Structure 1
Amino acid sequence: MNTGLRITAFAAALAATFGAAYGVGKGVEPVVSDTAKKEPARRDGHTGKSPEPGEGAGAHAAAPAGGLQISEGGYSLDLRTPSVTAQDRSDLRFVIRDAKGRAVTAYQREHDKELHLILASRDLVTYRDLHPTRAADGTWSTPVDLPEAGDYRAFADFTPAGADAENLTLGADLAVSGTYKPRELPAPADTAEVNGYEVELEGGLRPGAASELELKVSRDGRPVTDLQPYLGAYGHLVALRSGDLAYLHVHPNGEPGDGTTAPGPDISFTATAPSYRLFLDFKHDGRVHTAAFTVEAGGAAAPSPAEEPPAEHTH
């Protein structure tokens, strides 16, 4: 069976959070990396390398869930554009400030960027992966056009310059004005269609136990085996928990050009996810696509059928 994208041990992973999955959103479980024994805990919940054989959930060390705080580690997210209008193209502006209130102008590059910006509606139906530009004074900006009114969350994922700097994900609320219509989280299913591609998610989540999820990307019924690098990897996964939008940004094990990682059909991820909503980015034929899934512990995974497509990135 050819696999377009594979998340390996993603639940050893989801086990830490989904052990209490049916109370999701009522509490914040720790975000944990399978590499906690080898690398310091990262405050954004990024995952590192695959665990060595024998390393399991018992080896995990707790780390705070990402994106729940506007200030952390001496840094703050100053959202200069706290509100925009639905269906109206606007410039979103923000600044990262240090403990003295100064705008941060030096960052470490990670996955080809100094900073990654994610926007998600509170109902987890609308999603944007944006790549803002930074002015010399430290002000970040990016055009944004959101289709629906409501409450959103902006996540700034970055690492300040400095040998001892930690990767952080700070979050701030964004109001989108317009006529608001409540939307329900799409029901679980095991396939998602986006821009002519079909992404199939196989496997289930078992509370308190490790499991394997496989993501297969196909087009016209044929497996995609020539994925292209996107931000230094063949795939990216963002997980957001329903209720509080705890954030996890997952990058695959291995990278293009390392001599061992092929451009498909398989891409493996190792992570602990604090969420019920998964957004998978992959690049093919020069375009970036996003497939969205709703996940429930003890059941299958699930996409967003005919909802507002997160498939087009605004860079």
Structure 2
Amino acid sequence: MRTSVRLMTYALGLIVVFAGAAGAGRAFGPDAKPAPAPAHPAMDEHSGHEASAVPAEGLQITRAGYTLSPLTTRLTAGSAQTFAFRIVGPDGRAVTQFTEEHGTELHLIVVRRDMAGYQHLHPVRAADGTWSVPLTIAEPGAYRAFADFTPRARAEELVLGADLDAPGDYQPRLLPQPAWATTVDGYTVTRAGEPQAGTDSWMTVSVSRNGQPVTLEPYLGSFGHLVALHQGDLAYLHLHPQEGATAGPDVTVDASVPATGAYRLFLEFKHDGRVHLAEFTATTGAGHTHN
């Protein structure tokens, strides 16, 4: 998971900008666009140069000598099964040493290539390095599995992706239109701010129920988990609130993305002891250019 160090520089400004988000954001309907979060130049505050581009993750099955090796490659729609895989290291052996991030050693995302049927799973690792998790997919199709982890031998995390097939009559779904609000399990979730490529960007999501803001509960060490997938290539980003975030109805994340286009946003939040999943579509721009 990326740590949004840049957010700390603008934390005080963001508090002022989003002080009214809990009330105003919830008044927006799906077709009403709230005021966007402020865009900040993609400049390194120390060097004065443009910030480096956000890397596209999850597009490779092998990277930096590590390989996602599925032991289960064929899925059966509508039936519970065990999905098993290994992370093979540069020495050709299954990796057994990982650095825990946000309460777990590895995040597994499974989603169909049309970005339907999203699941965020936490498999169990055996002593020999084999990971396994119960998995049920509802419909046939071409699926993508993402393993998000940090080997103990590395300082930075890796995200590897592999394709999985579920034979059957596959009817791809159109990507839902961009929206500023959605409902799930009786909650209304609104967002302010757009993801941007080529510049710093922030997004705030606000959660309410029955017209009243709720206080989000910690889930895997954060008040919300946001995964963004790019339409077409399924480039992957796992975004988290800035460090030091306090409990409340709002979650602000670094929303800098690797490329322009449409993204599907998957927000997991916890309230009343249950985890809920809210989904949005967002269309990004190229951000700001500098002369």
Please report the TM-score for the alignment, with normalisation by the length of structure 2.
0.79
Alignment of 1:215-294 (within 5 A): 215-224=205-214, 226-255=215-244, 261-274=245-258, 276-294=263-281
Aligned residue in 1 for 2:183 = 193
- Size of the alignment, in residue pairs? 247
One-letter amino acid of the counterpart of residue 72, structure 1: R
Give the aligned CA root-mean-square deviation in angstroms: 2.1
SS across alignment from 1:280 = strand
Q: CA deviation at 1:125?
A: 1.9
1:83 and 2:74 equivalent?
yes
How high is the sequence identity, in percent, across the aligned residues? 51
Q: CA deviation at 1:199?
A: 0.5
Distance 1:249 1:95 in 2: 21
One-letter amino acid of the counterpart of residue 296, structure 1: T
Question: Does the C-alpha gap of structure 1 residues 251 and 210 become closer, same or farther in structure 2, counting only changes over 3 Å?
Answer: closer
One-letter amino acid of the counterpart of residue 268, structure 2: D
SS across alignment from 1:276 = strand
Aligned residue in 2 for 1:48 = 4
Aligned residue in 2 for 1:178 = 168
Question: Does the C-alpha gap of structure 1 residues 249 and 291 become closer, same or farther in structure 2, counting only changes over 3 Å?
Answer: same
Aligned residue in 1 for 2:134 = 143
Superposed CA deviations along residues 129-161 of structure 1, whole A, max 9, x for unmatched, are: 000000111000001111111111100000011
Distance 2:101 2:198 in 1: 32
Question: Does the C-alpha gap of structure 1 residues 182 and 267 become closer, same or farther in structure 2, counting only changes over 3 Å?
Answer: closer
Q: Which ranges of structure 1 fall in alignment gaps of 5 or more residues?
A: 1-43, 256-260, 299-315
Question: Does the C-alpha gap of structure 1 residues 155 and 208 become closer, same or farther in structure 2, counting only changes over 3 Å?
Answer: closer
Aligned residue in 2 for 1:100 = 91
Distance 1:250 1:205 in 2: 11
Q: CA deviation at 1:210?
A: 5.6
Point out the structure with the larger strand share.
2
Contact 1:227 1:282 in 2 (8 A): yes
Please report the TM-score for the alignment, with normalisation by the length of structure 1.
0.73
Structure having greater relative contact order (Cα 8 Å, sep ≥ 6)? 1
Question: Does the C-alpha gap of structure 1 residues 155 and 207 become closer, same or farther in structure 2, counting only changes over 3 Å?
Answer: closer
Q: Which ranges of structure 2 fall in alignment gaps of 5 or more residues?
A: 14-39, 45-50, 286-291
SS across alignment from 1:269 = strand
